[in-house]
Amino acid sequence: MKPWMCLGLAAALGASLGACGKIEPNVGPAVRSGSADFSVYVAMGTSLGAGYSNGGLVESHQRHSYPYLFAQQVGTPFTIPSISDSGLGPLLVLRSYDPLLITRAAVPGVPTNFAQPTASSRTPTPRAPLRRPRMSATSATSSTSAASTVTPHFAGAELAEMVATRRDLHAHPELGFEEVRTSGLVAERLRQLGLEPRTGVGRTGVLARITGGKPGRTVLLRADMDALPILEENDVPYRSQSPGRMHACGHDCHTSILLGIAKQLVAEAKDQKGNVVLCFQPAEELGGPKGGAEAMLQDGVLEWARADAAFGLHVWQDLPLGTVGVTAGPWMAAVDEFTVTFKGKGAHAAMPQASRDPVVALAHAVTALQTLASRNADPLKELVVSVTQLKAGSAFNIIPETAWMNGTIRVFDRELWAAIPRHVERVVRGVAAALDCEAELLYERGNKPTFNDPAMCAFARAAAVSVVGEANVRHDVRTMGGEDFSTFLERIPGVFIAIGSRNEARGLTYDHHHPRFDVDEQCLRIGAEVLLETARRYLAS
Three-class SS state of 32: coil
Q: How far apart are CA 144 and CA 504, in angstroms?
A: 12
Catalytic residue among 226, 413, 484, 533: 226
Q: What are phi and psi of 249, to 5 degrees?
A: -130, 0
Residues with Cβ within 8 Å of 246's Cβ and at least 6 positions away in sequence, in order, are 173, 227, 228, 230, 231, 232, 240, 515, 517
248 CA to centre of own chain: 12
Residue 376: how many CB atoms within 10 A of its CB? 15
> What's the one-letter identity of residue 151?
T
Which residue among the candidates 161, 284, 518, 520 is catalytic per the annotation? 284
| Cβ neighbour number for residue 309 with a 10 Å cutoff | 23
Residue 315 to residue 279: CA distance in whole angstroms: 17
d(CA 202, CA 304): 13
Per-residue DSSP letter, 320: E
Q: Nearest to residue 373, comparing CAs of 361, 365, 382, 364? A: 382
Instruction: Give the dihedral sign, CA 60/65/67/70.
Output: negative
Amino acid at 255: T
Tell me how far apart the terminal alpha carbons of the chain are, to the nearest angstrom.
44
226 given a catalytic annotation:
yes
Q: Give the strands of the sheet with 40-43, arranged side by side.
A: 25-26, 40-43, 68-71
Inter-CA distances, 461 with 310, 466, 536, Å? 15, 9, 13
H/E segment holding residue 75: strand 73-78
Catalytic residues: 226, 284
